[in-house]
Amino acid sequence: MPRYDGVHPHHQIGSFMRGNIAAIVLVLLGTFFLLNNLGVIDISLRALFKTWWPLILIAVGLTLFFTPERHRK
């Protein structure tokens, strides 16, 4: 029988995934800025933000929706 340490297994997975998602976002942003600075890609961050800003609202809303109640304080 598995030992229960007081932390629900789904909360452990959620914390683990949140850390992975943050790491992936940082790597992608860093890669984007590096490629942009090196001239490999020519994309305006202002144009991207102007087009995709609603996605930020959606991501924040989904995060708030799926965050367990005990973590919201």
Please state the rounded mean pLDDT for residues 58-66: 85
Identify the residue with better confidence: 44 or 13: 44
10 Å CB burial of residue 18 (0-12, 13-18, 19+) is: middle
Q: Is the pTM for the entire model greater than 0.75? A: no
Residue 23 pLDDT exceeds 70:
yes
Whether pLDDT at 68 is above 70: yes
